[in-house]
Amino acid sequence: MRHVRIIGVPLDLGAGRRGCDMGPSALRIAGIKQRLQAIGHTVSDADIPVGIPEHLAEQQSSAKYLSEIVRVTQATADEVEETILAGQFPLIIGGDHSVAIGTIAGLAKAYRTQGKKLGVIWVDAHADMNTPGSSPSGNIHGMPLAVNLGIGSPELCSISGDFQKLDPKNVALIGIRNLDIAEQRIVRESGVHAFTMGDIDRIGMAAIMDKVLGFMKEQVDVIHISFDLDGLDPFIAPGVGTPVEGGLTYREAHLLMEMVAASGMMCSMEVVEDNPVLDIRNQTANLAAELIESGFGKVIL
């Protein structure tokens, strides 16, 4: 059993639509703390303070709200780093996916200190590998994975130190189905392992996770899951800002989490992009809370 430190990041400055700043509240209302306690973990819970658009000036259209996002992701990174060094499990609740810039910077720095190699499983409808040059919208939540690989805005790439946070060969991108044209090339040339929805259709989630966990076991010591709820099919997860048809089913998503849990290698997790404004009776947050339980080792039998 573990001590789980819930780190809420009520940030929606990286997204094109307001509302996912309420994501941490929605997950708490879905009983995330009690659910983790019920499977035997101890839990603490706090938020990183974040500014809201109504109080901030937008400085740059190719990377909107850059300076506030730099501040928030650095604060998140520091908290995550401290959590790992304290031997605890960071569970980051977004907030839009730009929080992953901070989460993964903090993990990378802590594991560098401990001499451990980090692998990341990134579940998403999108690849999140745009740069200020390639992004049609300038929304930073479309850029975090590129930033983690050292591609993009220098202010973001240097969070927690000027080093590349992830090695692309240790990254698995699962569930993608909607990429921008310029982004497709960035993904193809990056060296990350990308599994599209078409791959999932053809070979199935179990075979993909066997592959992913197989190379992770060879190459890394610890796994982080960055779970964007828009990776799920909008029919089961309507409360997201950028829904795309044809996503992960309920069982595919649980299987992914169950297989990661069974690997025993997961040491951190983040769940992002829940948008209660667009949700139906907190359905998406409830599903997110169930998936987190599966990731923490809740089993059927």
Residues lying near Mn ion in the complex (CB under 5 A)? 97, 124, 128, 228
124 included as an active-site residue:
yes
Query: Shortest gap between Cβ of 126 and Mn ion (angstroms)?
Result: 5
Give the residue with the Cβ less far from Mn ion, 91 or 146: 146
Query: Shortest gap between Cβ of 228 and Mn ion (angstroms)?
Result: 4
Give the residue with the Cβ less far from Mn ion, 25 or 178: 178
Catalytic pick among 124, 180, 233, 293 = 124
141 included as an active-site residue:
yes
Catalytic pick among 12, 68, 96, 128 = 128
233 included as an active-site residue:
no
230 included as an active-site residue:
yes
Catalytic pick among 21, 96, 273, 293 = 273
Give the residue with the Cβ less far from Mn ion, 21 or 36: 21
Query: Shortest gap between Cβ of 196 and Mn ion (angstroms)?
Result: 15
Catalytic pick among 126, 193, 224, 254 = 126
Query: Shortest gap between Cβ of 119 and Mn ion (angstroms)?
Result: 18
Query: Shortest gap between Cβ of 291 and Mn ion (angstroms)?
Result: 15
Give the residue with the Cβ less far from Mn ion, 27 or 36: 27
Give the residue with the Cβ less far from Mn ion, 180 or 228: 228
Catalytic pick among 12, 81, 230, 293 = 230
Calpha distance 126→64 (Å, rounded): 19
Catalytic residue numbers read 97, 124, 126, 128, 141, 228, 230, 273
